[in-house]
A and B are shown apart, each in its own frame.
Chain A
Amino acid sequence: MSNESTKNIESVDIMVNMGPQHPSTHGVFRMVLWVDGERVVELEPHIGYLHRGSEKISEGEIYPQVVTLFDRLDYLSNLNNEMAFCLAVEKLMEIEVPKRADYVRMILCELNRISSHMLFYGTMGLDAGAMTPIMYGFRERERIQKFFQSVTGARMMHNYIQIGGLREEPPKSFQGQLKEMLPQLSKAIEECDQLLTLNEVFLLRSKDIGIINGSDALELGLTGPCLRASGIVEDIRFTEPYSLYNEIDFNLPVGVTGDTWDRYAIRIAEMRESIKIIEQALELLPDIGETKAPGVRLIPRPPKGESYARVENPRGDLGVYIVSDGKDKPYRVKIRAPSFANLQALRKMSVGSYVADVVMILGSLDIVLGEVDR
């Protein structure tokens, strides 16, 4: 094109609003992009569309009821959330959870991690433009969700892990069902791995995209798979083992470059490790025993004081801070949501990349809006 024809044309960055109704924002997340052609110049995330005031509502509910609110935070890993709150209260009340209950909790949490990562796998495929992964992912997730239903009575909002143990004894078929399901799951993980992980187009789309190095990741407060993808060895199951994780041997997948592909591959590797954890826990699980600590009242009243508990959620470090004034309702509950912190890195990762990459990067952060907005 000659200079004369382009001389008078002024180039303007277009503002593109993505969300809250958009197929790739994984819920009601909104981001405003300024794009120069296909390049992202600036990105501004807007959150709060799913704000329900969970922290404030918690102050008006008795402790067992607050567990149900935690189910609804990160609605893809409900049991991990219940675990976090119960750990915090148990810490405050100095309750020793029976071993049997603790192993069941651990098995359920790890299963929940697999089911959450399976959904991640599917949505990552969708973000990359592949249709099939979501079907494969959902099939496996459904298998796990059905198992949860048989154990807890609900597909998603379980309210099963309670202060001092479990709400009720797991069904007699618990071990049998698990033993039947685990080989199916590990087969499915390999299947999913083959379908997408080393696909040429997927590699092109995810390698060296949305890179974040270790120190930046730490500064931005990234946790979970997103942090480990940048090469930082940090996992609460390792560094501050809660429950009975220190009795179990498993590997921690850690990335090198911190790009989108690493964040994806770490989750696939994590699913395999979760299977290992469940297998070991199943071996160690006592056949008989209490599933609830003796002496814990139906409506517990923790002593005055405060406590902070962290668990390794599928998305990262979920922290719960409780202040009790000795009544049956918490005085204050503060939730440190991993998705919320991970979301902070979105701008840093995305600016300068293509519009299509932003979708991939957001997908690789694997946010859940119920947790971001709380």
Chain B
Amino acid sequence: MKIVLQFAIVAMSIIAIFTALLFSGQTDIFLKALHASALFGFLSIVVLALIWYERKLLARIQMRIGPMRVGPFGILQTIADAIKLVTKEDIIPSETDKILYWLAPIVVFLPSFVVWTVVPFTPSLVIQEMELSLLFILASSTLSIVGLVMAGWSSANKYSVLGALRATAQLISYEIPIIITALTIAMLANSLNIIEIVLSQSSQPYLLLQPMGLLLFFIAALAELGRTPFDIYHAESELAGGPFLEYSGTHWSIFYLAEYFNTFLFATLVSLLFLGGWLGPWLPGIIWLFAKIFIVISIIFWIRGTYPRLRIDQLMEVGWKGLVPLSFTNFVLTAVFIYYKWPLWILGFLGLMSILVIMFAFKQQKSSQPPSIMLIPSSEVRHV
């Protein structure tokens, strides 16, 4: 118990240090704070829109119409939901560890917001330019695990504890492929500054050089976000909501907000690192960026509509036996190519080939399975 509290304190202080670093040497700190609150407002609206979009898209996949009563096309539905959640009675179960229980949503939420201060929308549209912005994003987004453990432990509920343990195992193991793939990109761009990474894609997006990297990053991001098919720590059919089970009202909505902040963040990262961010012909940069984010987010939601959930051990297998070795191989290969100055398109070609080989292997495996259902005609049985 004490350990968890210590963790919490450590996490909070790390966040505090990061935030202090962020604003250190700033003369116009109030202006920055104003920008940050504007960003918060913007993100909140994005989240409301995202939730509406997810519900609509899922509904279409499932041949429903989705929300339609509140406002045109149900567009105000999420706002109504938000009002409901905030005005709801905040139930704190009596057995909980009050401090941790209260702190957990904040610990989950803070990193998911802080990272946004260094995410560039265009070279000029960024709250704080930072040389190590990619590192900062990866480092702070890891912190939310602590909040999940706190939430699970303090809820005094066995489902929550199981969910928290699952979350820890899952998030820690999927950090590795994410970081390694991001590092590969940083190596190609020769910088950890996201703005420079994007600018270095002016000749071609890294999607073409790193198709494998994109796939790995995307899958790992899905797991990191706890989205289908990796939504193991929520696991509604088993754990009935995991670490967030006991939360209600505002507390719960803060978790939810953090989750969608993260979803939006990883979609943005994919577009910035692999799809060339705001670069694109004719249209203004910001529109290009949002178009790319929109496509990535749609794919994330689409997967949710079609896939079941993996089991915890299978998740670990996918992570440690699949993504981690592949990402390391990709990393080393890229390093070799860069060192010997071999043409990089070969790398892209290799990546594409290996993706095709993997897909083909899956298909072979599927078709090679013997049909395990026999059909016995009625005439045979009746005469036996």
Listed in ascending order, the chain A residues whose CB lies under 8 Å from chain B are: 14-17, 22-24, 35, 37-38, 125-132, 135-136, 139, 195-196, 198-205, 233, 235, 238-239, 241, 246, 248-257, 261-262, 265-266, 269, 354-357, 359
Contact = CB atoms under 8 A, between A and B. Distances in A.
A354 B236 CA distance: 15
Contacts of B240: 22-23
Interface in B39-94: 58, 61-64
B158 interface: yes
Given A205-B309, A356-B312, 14 more contacts: A14-B161, A37-B165, A38-B166, A125-B308, A129-B237, A130-B307, A132-B305, A200-B366, A204-B311, A204-B314, A354-B313, A355-B162, A355-B238, A356-B232
Given A130-B306, A252-B375, A357 B61 contact: no
A256 B374 contact: yes
Nearest to B165: A37
Given A131-B58, A204-B310, A262 B372 contact: yes
Interface in B281-327: 304-314
A132 B228 contact: no
B308 A202 contact: yes
B377 interface: yes
A241 B379 CA distance: 12
A127 B240 CA distance: 11
Interface of B: 58, 61-64, 158-159, 161-162, 165-166, 228-229, 231-232, 235-238, 240, 304-314, 362, 366, 369, 372-379, 381-382
Contacts of A125: 308
A269 B375 contact: yes
20 contacts: A16-B162, A38-B162, A129-B228, A129-B309, A130-B306, A131-B305, A132-B61, A200-B362, A201-B307, A204-B310, A205-B308, A249-B378, A251-B375, A252-B378, A253-B376, A254-B373, A356-B238, A357-B311, A359-B237, A359-B238
A67 B377 CA distance: 33
Given A129-B231, A238-B378, A354 B62 contact: no
Nearest to B157: A16
B162 A254 contact: no
A246 B382 CA distance: 8
A253 B374 contact: yes
Contacts of B229: 129, 201
Q: Give the residue among B304, B312, B381 with the most A Cβ atoms within 10 A.
A: B381
A14 B64 CA distance: 41
Contacts of B162: 14, 16, 35, 38, 355
